[in-house]
């Protein structure tokens, strides 16, 4: 596997002497010779286990036939085929239910083939769902029906002459060549978005034209953390929050859930709710420099923003708080106000402050008022017009008169969000210029902040302050490079791709970054589990 993006991946599949670069659309009959002699059994996805056991082909086949009700578990590294998967696209709830069932039962390092399912309009979505191999059956059928296929949908054949496409097929009036060409191009485009870890952005833009795909996406986001396990702790590029679905993106809900359940705020009697800024991290913006000057450390600073809900100042560097892009209009719809308000309510119910000041306006203020009302708290509003106006800042300064200073501790706050443990930083010395700081115990480095993600990178000394969790256990060997999945004997199920982990074993310990989720490390037969940064050999007694 070369690159991952959720369930989608860029990888290679070896079938005999042929090497296929995934995701790919191919003449699968030439790759899987067994299909040429298949009876093409039609086993509906909703069939009961007895029917499946009777009619689904068995034995060591490539691809192996699998079914949501079937008990076939092929070995790692092979290819599986889900017959009739094209019928699932019209059943959003079942689509997710069946997909989650099969993904949990089969080895992660398995190539997935969706026969007769791929069209230019759904290929990106199928890749997002974890399918790797596609054929031309669906587009060839559309060609025989006189349908002109584009990523935006299907149209009458006459549209071919409108100039909407200038592919080789359109230039000679060959509908079949056009439809095949558009499918190949869409798979190639999906591959590029996977490489940039932005496939979700492509999927959100494509699915607007198909209500069923939107419904499936929403079910995927809401189904008991199924998809969240596959989503990395941080992506390479910005998170585009340009649709309503952004409120439920796995990395968004993960961030807000950890703010409520894991984050340990510093002792404070006053919380100050502040608006977000277009510039990230917030503290580098002109407005937040003014806010901080007016607050002068006399309150816990909490930024109210959509889609993340609430961002404590100590977490403003953590992905995606410093990496999201949202249309700035000043308008918040009802769903945004409800979602952000519920996060604020949960936080204020858990952490009781003597006073909560809302230095907000517009939709952010409406969301804060909704959350405070649910938590049974009365807000003190300090805005007179724009939050950064002189009058508003003077009101904020006056409201905080006489309050004690709050010490915002980035290392402690981030560790609580990242590892679920608020590190004791009393004996640590902070060096460097914010935001790129490092923590030392004496002269020994303990933590540094990753500039790309805002997350902590613990050294061995730092891991001593994190007594449990985020461990990967390996067999009796000393890593000489990255740790591969076959060498892993135990892994914390909370580990996500990109998480900092401590590798422990009888012969060595190591620090590094997870290259796959913890549960996949134990279920995979190949692939890099941890990208190792430093190794320490243990002396046996």
Q: What is the mean pLDDT of each run of 10 residues along the chain (541 residues)?
A: 90 86 90 71 88 82 88 82 94 96 92 96 98 96 97 94 93 96 97 96 94 96 89 91 90 97 96 95 95 97 96 97 87 92 97 97 95 96 94 97 94 97 94 90 95 95 96 96 96 97 97 97 93 92 59
Q: Retrieve residue 254's tokens.
A: 């993960």
Give me the phi and psi of 112, to 5 degrees please: -115, 130
* Phi, psi for 382 (deg, rounded to 5): -115, 15
Q: Whole-angstrom Cα distance, residue 344 to residue 341?
A: 5
Q: Which residues contact 137 (CB under 8 A, 6 or more apart)?
A: 115, 116
- Reduced to 3 states (helix: H, G, I; strand: E, B; else coil), residue 445 is strand
Q: Is the domain 246-399 a CATH 3.40.50.10630 member?
A: yes
87 CB burial (10 A radius; 0-12, 13-18, 19+): middle
CA 249 to chain centre: 7
Query: Are the folds of 246-399 and 410-537 the same?
Result: no
DSSP state of 121: T
Tokens of 152: 């935006």
Place of tokens 């009802």: 334
Fold of 410-537: 2.30.130
- How far is the C-alpha of 360 from the C-alpha of 102, rounded, in Å? 47
Q: Report the phi/psi class of residue 376: left, alpha or beta, with left for phi > 0 and alpha for psi in -120 to 50.
A: left
- Burial (0-12, 13-18, 19+ Cβ within 10 Å), 244: middle
Q: Count how many residues are written for the chain.
A: 541
CB contact at 8 A, 50 and 231: no
Distance CA 156, CA 119 (A): 15
Q: What is the pLDDT of residue 39?
A: 61
Domain boundaries, the chain: 3-229, 246-399, 410-537
How far apart CA 444 and CA 80 sit, in angstroms, is: 50
Cβ contact 396:291 at 8 Å: yes
Return d(Cα 411, Cα 424) in angstroms, integer: 9
CA-nearest of 176, 220, 182, 181 to 200 is 220
The two three-digit tokens of residue 369, written as one number = 């008022």
The CATH fold of domain 3-229? TIM Barrel (3.20.20)
Joined together, the tokens standing for residue 78 give 């092979």
Residue 531 CA to residue 538 CA, distance in Å, equals 19
């Amino acid at each position: 596997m070369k690159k991952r993006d959720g369930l989608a991946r860029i990888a290679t599949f070896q079938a005999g002497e042929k090497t296929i670069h995934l995701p790919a659309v191919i003449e699968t009959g030439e790759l899987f010779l067994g299909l040429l002699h298949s009876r093409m059994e039609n086993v509906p996805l909703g069939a009961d286990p007895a029917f499946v056991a009777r009619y689904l082909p068995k034995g060591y086949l490539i691809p192996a036939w699998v079914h949501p009700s079937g008990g076939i578990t092929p070995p790692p590294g092979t290819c599986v085929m889900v017959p009739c998967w094209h019928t699932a696209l019209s059943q959003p709830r079942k689509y997710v239910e069946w997909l989650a069932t099969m993904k949990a039962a089969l080895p992660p390092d398995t190539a997935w083939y969706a026969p007769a399912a791929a069209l230019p309009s759904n290929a990106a979505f199928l890749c997002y769902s974890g399918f790797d191999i596609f054929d031309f059956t669906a587009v060839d059928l559309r060609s025989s029906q006189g349908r002109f296929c584009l990523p935006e949908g299907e149209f009458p054949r006459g549209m071919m002459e409108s100039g909407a496409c200038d592919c080789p097929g359109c230039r000679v009036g060959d509908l079949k060549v056009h439809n095949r060409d558009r499918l190949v191009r869409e798979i190639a485009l999906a591959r590029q978005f996977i490489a940039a870890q932005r496939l979700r952005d492509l999927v959100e833009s494509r699915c607007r034209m198909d209500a069923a795909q939107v419904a499936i996406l929403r079910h995927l986001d809401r189904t008991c953390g199924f998809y969240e396990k596959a989503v990395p702790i941080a992506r390479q590029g910005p998170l585009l929050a340009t649709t309503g679905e952004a409120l439920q993106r796995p990395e968004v809900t993960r961030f807000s859930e950890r703010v409520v359940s894991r984050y340990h705020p510093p002792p404070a009697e006053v919380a100050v709710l502040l608006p977000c800024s277009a510039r990230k991290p917030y503290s580098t913006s002109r407005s937040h420099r003014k806010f901080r000057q007016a607050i002068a450390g006399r309150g816990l600073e909490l930024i109210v923003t959509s889609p993340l809900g609430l961002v404590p100042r100590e977490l403003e560097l953590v992905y995606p708080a410093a990496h999201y892009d949202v249309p700035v209009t000043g308008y918040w719809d009802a769903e945004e106000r409800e979602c952000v308000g519920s996060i604020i309510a949960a936080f204020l119910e858990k952490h009781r402050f003597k006073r909560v000041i809302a230095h907000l306006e517009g939709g952010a203020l409406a969301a804060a008022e909704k959350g405070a009302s649910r938590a049974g708290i009365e807000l003190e509003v300090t805005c007179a017009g724009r939050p950064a106006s002189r009058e508003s800042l003077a009101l904020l300064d006056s409201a905080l008169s006489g309050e004690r200073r709050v010490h915002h501790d980035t290392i402690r706050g981030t560790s609580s969000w990242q590892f679920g443990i608020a590190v004791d930083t009393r004996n640590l010395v902070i060096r460097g210029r914010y935001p790129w700081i490092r923590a030392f115990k004496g002269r020994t480095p303990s933590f540094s902040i990753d500039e790309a993600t805002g997350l902590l990178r613990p050294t061995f000394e730092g891991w001593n302050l994190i007594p449990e969790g985020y461990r990967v256990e390996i067999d009796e060997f000393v890593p000489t490079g990255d740790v591969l999945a076959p060498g892993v004997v135990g892994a914390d199920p909370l580990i996500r791709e990109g998480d900092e982990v401590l590798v422990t074993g009888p012969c060595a310990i190591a620090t590094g970054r997870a290259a796959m989720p913890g549960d996949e490390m134990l279920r995979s037969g190949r692939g890099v589990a941890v990208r190792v940064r430093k190794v320490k050999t243990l002396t046996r007694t």
